Amino acid sequence: MIVAERKPLAEILSNVRGAGKVLVVGCNTCVAVCMAGGEKEVAITATQLRLALRKEGLEPQITERSVERQCEREFVAELGEAIAAHDVVLSMACGVGVQTLVEEFPDAIVYPGLNTTFMGRPEERGVWSERCIGCGNCVLDKFGGICPITRCAKGLLNGPCGGSANGRCEVDPENTPCAWQLIYDRLARIGQLDRLMDLEPPKDWSTSRHGGPRKMVRKDMVL
């Protein structure tokens, strides 16, 4: 899932201050799960904006809306009339959602309410950890299902660095395990330690952002 967190209120205020009508739009998928931009967070943010702006002597009309997924035009289409009726839109979605609103409603002023951080998984209540950077060429089959590109602080593909000690990463020994210790333990458990004898060539980043923004086309789905 995409993990995000709300921008500081002061930063949000700097963008919406002066607008007479503000539409706060949430997304009920990824950012709702990480408790950053769902209906509840939209309500909290809208209330905080009202209170903060009221202290400045401002009384803008702040409207709350949410859609299932802001990253899909079919879902944001229902926002057309509401967006047209407001001066500013505050998107409580990931960066993809913000840009979808901009592309679908080119005359609208849209500001982000969140900082998109990474693709990850929930560890426990209120804790998420990064698992994928979307490099476009998955190597999980070679490393027992553990990604050294994402989980090794240095992205090493042929073993740990000299800073690994007692199975911990030198970048943050208290909180971060050495990815290569995890890989070794995992391969040992499934009987595939021989994979570590294969020398990995330098990472081919051409499938990542080497060539600029990416687009995937499924020809079997294109009409």
Answer yes or no: are the C-beta atoms of 170 and 164 closer than 8 Å: yes
pLDDT for res 219: 78
pLDDT for res 205: 84
Answer yes or no: are the C-beta atoms of 123 and 129 closer than 8 Å: yes
pLDDT for res 212: 72
CA–CA gap between residue 94 and residue 80 (Å, rounded): 19
Answer yes or no: are the C-beta atoms of 152 and 181 closer than 8 Å: no
pLDDT for res 125: 86
Three-state DSSP state, 201: coil
Q: Helices H, strands E: what count in the chain? A: 8, 7
Answer yes or no: are the C-beta atoms of 46 and 15 closer than 8 Å: no
Q: Count Cβ atoms below 10 Å from residue 185 Cβ, excluding itself.
A: 13
Answer yes or no: are the C-beta atoms of 109 and 18 closer than 8 Å: no
For each of the chain's 223 residues, which pLDDT tens digit applies?
899 999 999 999 999 999 999 999 999 999 999 999 999 999 999 999 999 999 999 999 999 999 999 999 999 999 999 999 999 999 999 999 999 999 999 999 999 999 999 999 988 888 899 999 999 899 999 999 999 999 999 999 999 999 999 999 999 999 999 999 999 999 999 999 999 999 999 988 888 876 677 677 777 777 6
Which helix (H) or strand (E) segment is 62 a member of?
strand 61-67
Answer yes or no: are the C-beta atoms of 73 and 51 closer than 8 Å: no
> DSSP string of 144-184?
TT--HHHHSTT--SSS--TT-BTTB-TT-TTT-B-HHHHHH
Q: Give me the sheet containing 110-112, strands edge to edge.
A: 61-67, 21-27, 88-92, 110-112
Q: Does domain 2-118 have CATH number 3.40.50.2300?
A: yes
Place of tokens 């899909």: 72
Q: What is the pTM of this model?
A: 0.86
Which helix (H) or strand (E) segment is 64 a member of?
strand 61-67
Domain boundaries, the chain: 2-118, 133-204
- CA-based max dimension of the chain: 69
pLDDT for res 206: 83
- Which residues lie closer than 8 Å to 130 by C-beta, 6 or more apart? 3, 117, 118, 119, 120, 150, 151
- Which residues lie closer than 8 Å to 206 by C-beta, 6 or more apart? none
- Nearest CA among 52, 58, 49 for reference residue 23: 49
